[in-house]
Amino acid sequence: MKAFVTGATGFLGSHVARVLGEQGADLRLLIRSTSNLRNLEGIKAETATGDLRDSSSLEKGMSGCDTVFHVAADYRLWVRDPAEMYRSNVDGTKAILDAARKNGVRRVVYTSSVATVGFTGNGHPADEDSPVSLADMIGPYKRSKFMAEQLAMEAGGSGMHVVVVNPTTPVGEQDVKPTPTGRIVVDFLKRRFPAYVETGLNLVDVRECAVGHVVALEKGRPGERYILGGENLTLKQILDKLGEISGLPSPKVKLPYVFAFATGIVDEAITGRLLHREPRATVDSVRMGKKKMFASCAKAERELGWKIVPVEGALRRAVQW
């Protein structure tokens, strides 16, 4: 296998590249000229300098590869210019699929997100068939990932061997940025979590999630999507686990939704608009948190042999890292 991997300098992508390398794949990793290469240490691979917004660099970088893992994405819950996110997540995915067609790539795995599935307000776990539409997507990140996923699904349904995976909320080591999920761990360790809101997430070990990508390549059906997840936990349960691991106190004060919403408005206005920094609390993140993002992995269990692994080990590795 000669695999072209995007996003390998990032959190999940670096683990996907590492798993592929350990399984003997020849790797070519897409990097930008400004990329931080810290996560590539110890991975035997070629690199190709390019950008998701530069189709010619993708075609050149992908030349000679028979497999593509498109893991890269702009994963932020607040951005000053939403058009930038659409260019990376939607236009970039289209460019990847076009380059794969032109290069005769045999198989593509597209990394979507559990954010694109249909969640309800009752906390019942969502799955791949839960009713959902673009109108249900909150904020540019969710909307752009939903639109990009549609492109991948359409390609898979029209003759290309494209399989979509929907990771839930990966946790573990190497979250260099960090992602919004990693920021939960960082903020907790810095004692910046005085209170919590009533919400929930499905956490998955990033290493297991990376292995799931490779299994999806081998066993997944073209034009289908698979949720790769782990444990459904409330935010309070997550913080309690971080407290047990780190020895730091877990917050006991639950923040009412209306107060959290007001905090998001103020933080966006001051931190985002005036100070030109990414706010820690955003209106979109608070709106997302109104629904517990619990998910079912039954389809991946049936078709891919996916196994749900307790997430405590991944949380411990994240804290130690």
Which of 193, 180, 7 minimizes the C-alpha distance to 78? 180
Which of 201, 213, 198 minimizes the C-alpha distance to 126? 201
Spatial contact of 14 and 39, defined as CB atoms under 8 Å apart: yes
Cα–Cα dist 261/68, whole Å? 40
> CA-CA distances (angstroms) from residue 93 to 71, 73, 161, 253, 291?
10, 9, 15, 42, 28
Spatial contact of 178 and 186, defined as CB atoms under 8 Å apart: yes
> Among this protein's residues, is 141 annotated catalytic?
yes
Token pair of 174 as six digits? 């190497």
Which of 175, 143, 89 minimizes the C-alpha distance to 284? 143
> CA-CA distances (angstroms) from residue 261 to 138, 182, 189, 264, 285?
14, 21, 24, 5, 9
Token pair of 73 as six digits? 């994405």
Which DSSP string corresponds to 129-166? TS---GGG--HHHHHHHHHHHHHHHHHHTTTS-EEEEE
3-state secondary structure of 108: strand
* Bond from prior residue into 140 cis (ω within 30 degrees of 0): no
Which of 196, 184, 167 minimizes the C-alpha distance to 318? 184
* Residue of 141, 196, 226, 257 marked catalytic: 141
Q: Specify the amino acid at residue 207.
A: R
Residue 318: count other Cβ atoms within 10 Å of its Cβ. Answer: 26
* Catalytic (active-site) positions: 141
